[in-house]
Amino acid sequence: MKGNDEFLPFNGLFESVYENLKEKNAVSGGEEMLRLRAYEKLQNLVTRGLVEKEGRKYRGTDRIHEASSEYLAAQAEKLQQKAAS
């Protein structure tokens, strides 16, 4: 994952995510509920400084990789190792 040079509207981002989830048969709870959850998560990324917001468009920063599951797992593992020492 890396930052994006282009700002994208929420609806475009959501449609891309929604299509990917439909391909994986991972859609549950209805489109509106999923849209609400996606918007909430996107706002969380903005608050954490991982995504920039300009008007109603969004762009990933160079730190967007910090939102990945792999990064979070590695950070948790580092904390566990630190606590064990």
Domain edges within the chain: 8-84
- Identify the CA nearest to 2 among candidates 51, 68, 78, 64: 64
Q: Which pTM value belongs to this model? A: 0.75
At 41-53, the pLDDT tens digits run 999 999 999 999 9
Q: Residue 3: pLDDT band by 50, 70, 90 thresholds?
A: low
Is the pLDDT reported for residue 60 higher than 70? yes
Q: Express as a percent the part of the chain with pLDDT over 90.
A: 66
Rounded Cα distance, 2 and 80, in Å? 27
Strand ranges (E), the chain: 8-9, 51-54, 57-60
